[in-house]
Amino acid sequence: MTVERTAVGIVGGGPAGLMLSHLLHLRGIESVVLESRTRSEVESTIRAGVLEQNTVDLMVETGLGDRLQREGLRHHGIELRFDGHGHRIAFDELTDGRAVTVYPQHEVLKDLIERRIADSGDIRFGVRDAQVLDHTSDTPKIRFVDADGHSRTLECALVAGCDGSRTETRKLIPEKTVRADHFRQYPFAWFGILAEAPPSSDELIYANHERGFALISTRTPEVQRHYLQVDPDDSVDNWSDDRIWDELHMRVDGEGAEIKDGKIFQKSILQFRSFVCEPMQHGNLFLAGDAAHTVPPTGAKGMNLAIADVYALSAAMDRFFVASDRTVLDGYTATVLPRVWRTQHFSWWMSSMLHRLPEGSGFDRRRQIAELDMVTRSVAGRTLIAENYVGTPLHCGHPLF
């Protein structure tokens, strides 16, 4: 068995793992990224991507922003629709010019991979059976089988668990005695489509309708991404193309909005869950991204929250390696959890305000409309949505920076 050494072993080559490796490199810290999928699989798995201002700024400042700035679609607001009328939330006016950028997650991953390879970064694709050992000691190890079938051991000082919601690294934090899992399953799901069609709107539309929620989004000028609220047990087989377009028109069309049809080439159902693991660390193991938490997609926060995690974690690791000081590293969970829970609240709030509740009564329906009317009519309400949607600055009031 071949034994190798590095400063930080990173399990998982998604946004959290690759961005952590990139940020550590900029701080002069070596890392190795272990990813079970092939490079082509990572780069071709189409995922949503609405980037907060924080994420965009970080990518640009760290040399990842060339293609993002050319191809990303900058949005200065969203529209909330209810009772057949649209109500715009103007981000730029309410947050001193901050905005979001539509740029799919797989494009972010392509940029990260290209940059890591250009910087001679060590990414191992196609590995299997990755197992973290001795993470509570000063010499943790990761055993794995590489893409060529060779058994290897990676010795490191610190381990980052960035292996997504189906994580194995989280299980290393003892359940009940150390780890508390906070979980919520929502009574609805999203039926998502990708379609070859012109944009139906210049900005995202979030529609509350008595038949259920709908989201009108975009990927490129030629490809659109739309969602319909459905039952969690529904199947894509129940939805013909005509039924999908009819339902989108019923839920969204009205004053100032009309859905533009096209050829649907992908259908999927996305379950709704909220999850937070506390603490996000144990010994010399540190979790980031979906390995530690997941949010409903209503607030477009998943990837952004992962980036915020590793931004803080890279700074804490830098303090550890440069100054031999564990204080900030040991406080990693306490540092990132407030943002995690604020994000959970925003995603839950948007979801509960916009979706039809299966057990809902006439009271619930009218309450939702009153809430939407209140937040869209009030400058304070619109500002609350705008500030949370574009993301609070990573530097603002942060003890690390």
Q: Is 345 a catalytic residue?
A: no
Handedness of CA 267, 199, 375, 57 (dihedral sign): positive
Q: Which two tokens stand for residue 359?
A: 């057990």
Distance CA 215, CA 79 (A): 10
233, HSE (Cβ side, Cα atoms, 13 Å)? 1
Distance CA 12, CA 300 (A): 21
Distances (CA, A) of 174 to 162, 177, 287: 18, 6, 14
Cα R_g (the chain), whole angstroms: 22
Angle at 153 between CA 113 and CA 312, to 5 degrees: 50
Distance CA 137, CA 157 (A): 9
Distances (CA, A) of 160 to 9, 12, 345, 366: 6, 9, 26, 46
Catalytic-role residue among 25, 75, 76, 355 = 75
Catalytic-role residue among 15, 140, 296, 297 = 297
Q: Is 301 a catalytic residue?
A: yes
CB within 8 A of 57, min separation 6: which ones?
A: none
Which residue bears the tokens 């937040």? 375
Distances (CA, A) of 2 to 9, 150, 160, 359: 15, 8, 21, 58
Distances (CA, A) of 63 to 60, 114, 122, 303: 5, 11, 18, 18
Q: Is 279 a catalytic residue?
A: no
375, HSE (Cβ side, Cα atoms, 13 Å)? 21
Which residue bears the tokens 């694709």? 125
Instruction: Say how many residues make up the chain.
Output: 401
Which amino acid would we find at residue 263? Answer: K
Distance CA 225, CA 219 (A): 6
Catalytic-role residue among 206, 227, 311, 332 = 206
Q: Is 103 a catalytic residue?
A: no
Catalytic-role residue among 76, 301, 332, 355 = 301
Q: Is 297 a catalytic residue?
A: yes
Which helix (H) or strand (E) segment holds residue 3: the answer is strand 2-5
Catalytic-role residue among 186, 227, 332, 389 = 389
Catalytic positions are 75, 206, 297, 301, 389
